[in-house]
Amino acid sequence: ASSKAKLLCIQMPEPKKSKSRGKAAKSGGPAVLSVSCEQQAASSGTNPAATAKAADKEETVPLRSNPPPDGASTAINMPTDNDLKSSYNSLKGKEMFLRLQGKTPLTLEFKNLSYYVRVRNAQKTILDSLNGKFKPGRLVALMGPSGAGKSSLTNVLAGYISKNVEGDILVNGQIRNLRKFRKNSCYIMQEDLLLPHLSVYESMTCSANLRLCEPAEKKEAMVRTILDVLGLAECSSTRASSLSGGQKKRLAIAQELLSNPPIMFFDEPTSGLDSASCFQCVSLLKELALGGRTIVCTIHQPSAKLFEMFDQLYFVAKGRCLYNGPAGAVVPYLASRGFVCPSYHNPTDYFMEAVCGDDSTTPVGDAGEDSATTDGDQQKGECMVTALAEAVRSGQCAEFMRAYKSAVAKEKADAAILADNASATSSSSSSANSNKNPDQSLANNDSDSNANESSVKDDSRTGHFSTGTLNQFRVLYVRTFLSIIRDTQLTRLRLLSHVSVGLLIGMLYFKIGNDGLKVQSNAGCLFFCMLFLMFTALMPTVLTFPMEMNIFLREHLNYWYSVKAYYLAKTLADLPFQVIFPVIYGTIVYFMTAQPLEFMRYFLFLTICVQTSLVAQSFGLLIGAATNLESAIFLGPVTAIPILLFSGFFVTFSTIPVYLQWLSYCSYVRYAFEAVLQIIYGMNRNHLECNPDASADSSESLAPCLSDPDFFLKFFSADGAKIYVDFIVLCMFFVILRGLCFLILKFRTRASR
């Protein structure tokens, strides 16, 4: 017993205890169980004076077990030597990243906060005059029924919504500077927005290179330490697509921890996770809060075990606040308002059912004048929402919380006095007093923090992003290129389609390029080349880019990189593939169909093929950036129809009605088709061959032999076309479409704010 007591008395560095830390120990959270050395020595029968010198500070033993029921004895699981050694070795890393270091803790406060949206000609209120204050070191839960406004409140507080918002949002007592606040906070959304083809380590390395201005060795050490602290070291080489739900959530948190944000917002962090993963996730959030951060997360009906881990509950319904106070006080508060939660009931379930108007949640008893007067009206959820919202707005809820905190503080003080009286020596008495002081010192620290909030300045960087545009482009280019290469299904499919279709067209139109009897068929072959290249570049972009938009918006709005760096990397990373695949396809078709064996014609033909592919991809990026996936799938083929109709193949320019001829100038396929016809049949090409020995029953004998290439160009109204003009116009299409896509991305990022 004596040796075990000595093990428990190992000195480990620990920050000042906070009130939330004490609550975490009571609620069985991920924190630590505080055990004084004297208490351990007394329980083991050893002399307390022998260990008095080791009791100057309070020690901590990692504890993952659940707290015992009230009134039951506390059984302490003795750690082994290996447990203590591993805990000590990892403590330095935990102190570095779980605790807020080098940045000022931020207190978030909002007063008379309202948010509305316009529905047709009416105005719908989403948030109605909300007030609240979220302090560092606390894990805050935003709860409420579906459609209550908790996600809207999170978006407003995180800065993702700034339009149609009224009221004041203060950071450390000052009006919030949105740009600085966004740099000092992060928002982890409900969906796990991760690049599926990058490993855990690669995702973390990319994030570190984008967000940290540190030497490469220090970045790598930070990445390794965070992965070890969050339990992701064993799967560091696993791709994100193969991770479990809990691992994906921890990876998303790990990426944001690199910038050490004082405030972190989470939207339904436990959504889609099993009970064990939910506990691990909330435990991590609790540890981050204990490190000095302000953690705010929306959560929908957590279990009683998870609910006990939260320090503060902010309950909203129909845009109004129904409760704002300690999570442990919600049951007595509801009882004071006439709603008594059964002992076997989950408090959150009961609160939710009562708000939604469940008949089983009827008021019980007489809890004072206020509850008695509204006892009849509270039979339904609507009346309860109104009554509780009015209690919060009138200050009755805040008054109850003050009385509740005073009662809890008095109870703790009485317990500490009893512990002092039970001490046998002055050293044990002094140690007992030290165990009492943290809660009192927390109150003093809170008051000091509140008094000095107005003097605290934001310590964010003066620039927009942590690293320069050139470094952002370099990292994003490598990341995007790796994602394309590792998406083997799509990459192989693109290559296989260009090769197989090229061979099919080559066999179908085999050696017709110099045959005067088959000029019409050859024109169809050339047009189909442009058609195929258009769709193979358009549709993959339309299908994939909208899915990447959510990742881009999350990372950009969390100040990872600029829009121009992302867009330039996205544009250039896929450029090699958009050049290689059309070249492969064009080469197969050109030689199998026996087009003119001249290098200049061959080179120009491949150039137009590549240009057509790039313009089509630009058009796909424009559609993908402007719409969601469902709309993009529909708009992609639909918008291609007028482009093909006015290309000059189905209807020549001279036969198009005058009032519709202007539409042909908007078809980039028209310029590509004209250029290809000029390349194949223009440039002073010799007359085509006409086989006089064609069989009489052949269908080709019914068609005239067009041996003069100029006559064929006149037939398609392409005799006056200039190759360089078509080339310049295609370049203009490329630049304009890419520019419009960039502007849409800028607009969407600003609209998301």
d(CA 106, CA 177): 13
Q: Which residues, in sequence order, are bridge partners of residue 256? A: none
* pLDDT for 151 beyond 80: yes
39-43, 176-180, 745-749: least confidently modelled range: 39-43
Q: Measured between alpha carbons, how far is 574 from 467 in angstroms, rounded to an integer?
A: 24
Confidence at 379, pLDDT banded by 50, 70, 90: low
Contact 673, 647 (CB under 8 A): yes
Reported as a single tens digit per residue, the pLDDT across 731-740 is 999 999 999 9
- Is 510 a domain residue? yes
Q: CA–CA separation, 359 vs 271, rounded Å?
A: 28
307 in Cβ contact with 348 (< 8 Å): yes
Tens digits of per-residue pLDDT, 716-733? Answer: 777 778 899 999 999 999
Determine, yes or no, domain membership for 583.
Answer: yes
Confidence check: pLDDT of 577 > 60: yes
C-alpha closest to that of 104 among 287, 285, 294: 294
d(CA 150, CA 446): 27
Q: What is the pLDDT of residue 35?
A: 35
pLDDT of the residue at 343: 79
pLDDT for 602: 94
Q: Is 83 exposed, middle or buried (0-12, 13-18, 19+ CB in 10 A)?
A: middle
Task: To the nearest 10°, report the CA torsion of 316, 319, 322, 326.
Answer: 40
Residue among 713, 669, 736, 721 at smallest CA distance from 532: 669
- Per-position b or e across 552-582, b if 16+ CB within 10 A of its CB: bbbbbbbbbbbbebbbbbbbebbeebbeebb
Burial per residue of 326-347, b for 16 or more beta-carbon CB atoms within 10 angstroms, e otherwise: bbbbbbebbbbbbbbbeeebbb
What's the pLDDT tens digit per position in 594-651? 899 899 999 999 999 999 999 999 999 999 888 888 888 899 889 989 999 888 888 8
Q: Crossing angle for the helix pair 668-681 and 519-557, nearest 10 degrees?
A: 140
Domain boundary, last residue among 64, 97, 130: 97
Contacts (Cβ under 8 Å, ≥6 apart) of 219: 205, 208, 209, 212
Q: Does residue 515 fall inside a structural domain?
A: yes
Beta bridge partners of 315: 143, 323
- Phi and psi dihedrals of 523, rounded to 5? -65, -40
Residues constituting the chain: 753
| pLDDT surpasses 80 at 382 | no
Looking at the predicted structure, is the pLDDT value of residue 447 above 60?
A: no
- Cross-strand bridge partners of residue 110: 132, 169
For residue 422, the model assigns a pLDDT of 63
Which H or E element spans position 325?
Answer: strand 320-326
Alpha helix (H) ranges present in 452-574?
A: 469-486, 488-508, 519-557, 563-573
Q: Which residues pair with 134 in a beta bridge?
A: 108
Q: Encode pLDDT of 581-594 as tens digits.
A: 999 999 999 999 98
Q: Does some domain include residue 170?
A: no
3-class secondary-structure state, position 720: coil
Query: Using one digit for the tens of pLDDT, what is the confidence trace for 617-631?
Result: 999 999 988 888 888
> 678: exposed, middle or buried (C-beta count within 10 Å: 0-12, 13-18, 19+)?
buried
**pLDDT of 142 above 90:** yes
Asked if 296 and 157 count as a contact pair (C-beta separation under 8 A), the reply is: yes
Check if the beta carbon of residue 383 is closer than 8 Å to that of residue 377. yes
What is the structure's pLDDT at 102? 63
Q: What is the 3-state secondary structure (H, E, C) of 392-419?
A: HHCCHHHHHHHHHHHHHHHHHHHHHHHH
692 pLDDT above the threshold of 50: yes
Q: pLDDT tens for residues 323-347?
A: 999 988 888 888 888 878 887 788 8
What is residue 582's predicted lDDT score, i.e. its pLDDT?
95
- pLDDT of 57 > 90? The answer is no
The confidence band for 51, taking pLDDT boundaries of 50, 70 and 90, is very low
Instruction: With respect to residue 482, please indicate whether it lies within any of the assigned structural domains.
Output: no
Q: Could you give the CA distance from residue 308 to residue 285 in angstroms, rounded to a whole number?
A: 13
DSSP annotation of 425: S
Least confident of 141-155, 186-200, 697-711: 697-711
Torsion 444-448-453-459 (CA) sign: negative
H or E element in which residue 198 lies = none
CA angle 50/53/57 to nearest 5° reads 130
User: Using CB atoms within 10 A of its CB, is residue 520 exposed (0-12), middle (13-18) or buried (19+)?
Assistant: middle
Percent of the chain with pLDDT over 90: 29
Of the pLDDT bands very low, low, confident and very high (cuts 50, 70, 90), residue 175 is very high
Beta carbons of 644 and 531 less than 8 angstroms apart: yes
Contacts of 287 (CB under 8 A, 6+ apart): 30, 31, 94, 98
User: Rounded CA gap, 105 and 625, in Å?
Assistant: 37
**Full-prediction pTM beyond 0.85?**
no
Task: Look at residues 40, 70, 97 and tell me which one is the last residue of a structural domain.
Answer: 97
Count of structural domains within the chain? 2
How many Å apart are CA 377 and CA 287, to the nearest integer? 42
User: What distance in Å separates the CA atoms of residue 331 and residue 404, rounded to the nearest whole number?
Assistant: 12
pLDDT tens-digit series, residues 245-290: 888 988 998 898 888 889 999 988 888 788 888 888 898 899 889 8
Kind and range of the H or E run holding 183:
helix 178-183
Contact between 611 and 729 under an 8 Å Cβ cutoff? The reply is no
Alpha-carbon distance of 359 to 236, in angstroms, equals 51
Boundary of a domain, candidates 66, 97, 128: 97
Asked whether residue 124 carries a pLDDT value surpassing 80, the answer given is: yes
The answer to whether position 541 is within a domain reads: yes
Least confident of 34-38, 525-529, 704-708: 34-38
Going 259 to 260 to 265 to 266, the CA torsion angle's sign is positive
* In-domain check, residue 191: no
Domain that holds residue 91: 1-97
- Report the range of poorest mean pLDDT among 385-389, 448-452, 576-580: 448-452
Split at pLDDT 50, 70, 90, the class of 180 is confident
pLDDT tens track for 457-482? 444 444 578 888 999 999 999 999 99
Q: Which conformational region is residue 49 in: left (phi greater than 0), alpha (psi within -120 to 50 degrees), or beta?
A: alpha
Report the chain's terminal Cα–Cα distance, integer Å: 60
**476 domain residue, yes or no:** no
DSSP states of 735-751: HHHHHHHHHHHHHHHHH
Amino acid in position 211: R
